[in-house]
């Protein structure tokens, strides 16, 4: 029973941070200025990827006869508020947007690393988390590459 409780806790934590990620990319996409509109498709895809992760994680929670979490983390909410404040003071340039997105990607990468260190996860859960982690790592690297390319200009 303890393993099941720990598994559900880990999965619900990942659901929350994926919700944060999706909301963060939705917000970033919505707030893009005309000169950064090329990022919209990237941000929309990353938001969709996180929503797909949430669906998959919620299914795993349900298989453990528990209800999946539907909320966000407090830190994610604070991060989006920080983005609002930064934008109101003129921090909406491409580099700032991408740097904040990379910061969010760093947080979700850490969440998956931490989750995968749990020894009590079943093999099927671990397989799903590893697959999702691979996608997040690729996305992080893409955001970082966009940020670095802009910085080099």
pLDDT over 80 at 27, yes or no: yes
The stretch 9-29 carries a mean pLDDT of 91
pLDDT at 59: 95
Q: Which of 21-30, 120-129, 134-143 has the lowest mean pLDDT?
A: 21-30
pLDDT at 87: 54
Rounded to whole angstroms, the Cα distance separating 53 from 58 reads 8
Q: Are 54 and 18 in contact (CB under 8 A)?
A: yes
Expressed in angstroms, the distance from the first to the final Cα of the chain is: 55
pTM: predicted TM-score of the whole model, two decimal places: 0.86
Residue 99 host element (H or E)? helix 94-116
Residue 68 DSSP class? P
Rounded to whole angstroms, the Cα distance separating 26 from 124 reads 30
Instruction: Give the torsion sign (CA, 51, 41, 76, 100).
Output: positive
pLDDT over 80 at 23, yes or no: yes
Q: What is the DSSP string of 7-57?
A: HHHHHHHHHHHHHHHHHHHHHHHHT--GGGGGGHHHHHHHHHHHHHHHHHH
pLDDT in tens, 57-88: 999 999 988 888 887 666 655 555 555 545 54
The stretch 45-54 carries a mean pLDDT of 96
Rounded to whole angstroms, the Cα distance separating 34 from 138 reads 26
Q: Are 68 and 40 in contact (CB under 8 A)?
A: no
pLDDT at 133: 98
pLDDT at 89: 43
pLDDT in tens, 83-136: 554 554 455 578 888 888 898 899 999 999 999 999 889 999 999 999 999 999
Rounded to whole angstroms, the Cα distance separating 80 from 68 reads 23
């Amino acid at each position: 029973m303890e393993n099941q409780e720990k598994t559900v806790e880990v999965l619900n934590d990942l659901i929350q941070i994926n919700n944060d990620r999706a909301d963060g990319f939705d917000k970033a996409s919505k707030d893009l200025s005309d000169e950064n509109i090329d990022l919209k498709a990237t941000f929309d895809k990353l938001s969709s990827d996180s929503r797909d992760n949430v669906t998959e994680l919620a299914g795993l929670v349900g298989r453990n006869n528990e209800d999946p979490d539907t909320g966000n983390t407090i830190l994610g909410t604070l991060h989006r508020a920080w983005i609002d404040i930064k934008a109101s003071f003129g921090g909406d340039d491409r580099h700032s947007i991408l740097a904040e997105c990379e910061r969010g990607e760093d947080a979700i990468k850490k969440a998956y690393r931490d989750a995968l260190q749990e020894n009590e996860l079943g093999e099927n859960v671990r397989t799903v988390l590893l697959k999702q982690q691979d996608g997040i790592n690729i996305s992080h690297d893409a955001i970082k590459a966009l940020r670095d390319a802009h910085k080099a200009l």
